[in-house]
Amino acid sequence: MKAGVLYSGGKDSSLASIMLGTYYEVELNTFVFDPSRRIPEVGAAAEALGFPHRKRVFEKGLLNEMVDLVVEKGYPNDAINRVHQAAVETLAGEYDVVGDGTRFDDRVPMLTRDAVQSLGSRTGCSYVRPLLGYVRAEVDRLADRFLVVEYGETGTIRNGDYEAEIREAFQARGLDYAPLFPKHHEQSLVVGRKG
């Protein structure tokens, strides 16, 4: 059975993919807002894991809606969660199993229990989060054991995180995103898999 995994190229989604690969035929899916956006680093990360990878494009207009939502709320959490739900819903239309790298201590993105139950009821899809029981320290230990990972601030590391494109859209509008997004937000990119 195939499992469509939301894939940023980072350590969390990579570890989740490895775990799910034990039981499912994993296909990695990276969502972007701009159809011309190229992220070869994410493709290389997928190749290092040995799973097929697909770039997908969100529906037109979603990026502008999310920038407006961040401005309205004064923080990015609701927008990131809404984007994540849109990605999960898209995959639920194609796969019986959808997974991601959400951890125990993640606040964003995080679908609520009600949203997960609704998704299952509406689509028949099972939404699985194999890292949901793991705190960050344990995820870091597992990543160190199984993956070669580069780290950097959002915007300095080329992964498939939703936030980078939202920040770029702020800049394109001439808006300063810095007061609205967390400072020192570390991202990861898998560059290899250990033995």
Q: Which is nearest to 188 in space by CA: 15, 4, 5? A: 15
Over range 7-36, report the average pLDDT.
Answer: 97
Q: What are 30's strand-pairing partners?
A: 55
Q: What is the pLDDT of residue 40?
A: 96
Q: What is the pLDDT of residue 9?
A: 97
The gap from C-alpha 80 to its chain's centroid, in whole angstroms, comes to 10
Specify the pTM. Answer: 0.94
Sign of CA dihedral 188, 9, 114, 58: positive
Give the relative orientation of helices 62-73 and 77-92 as an angle to the nearest 10 degrees. 150
CA dihedral 99, 102, 104, 106 (to 10 degrees): -160
Q: Structure tokens of 122?
A: 């509406």
Sign of CA dihedral 43, 45, 58, 130: positive
Sign of CA dihedral 94, 65, 115, 26: positive
Whether the per-residue pLDDT at 155 is higher than 90: the answer is no
Report how many domains make up the chain: 1
Domain with 31 in it: what CATH number? 3.40.50.620
Q: Which one-letter DSSP state was computed for residue 16?
A: H
Q: Structure tokens of 76?
A: 């990015």
If you write DSSP's letter for every residue of 150-171 in order, what string do you get?
A: EEEEBTTB----HHHHHHHHHH
Whether the per-residue pLDDT at 154 is higher than 90: the answer is no
Task: State which residues form the domain around 95.
Answer: 2-193
Question: pLDDT band at residue 129, thresholds of 50, 70 and 90?
Answer: very high
Whether the per-residue pLDDT at 156 is higher than 90: the answer is no
Whether the per-residue pLDDT at 153 is higher than 90: the answer is no
Q: 31-72, pLDDT tens digit by residue?
A: 999 999 999 999 999 999 999 999 999 999 999 999 999 999
Residue 133, phi then psi, degrees to nearest 5? -90, 0
Q: Which helix (H) or strand (E) is 3 found in, with range?
A: strand 2-6
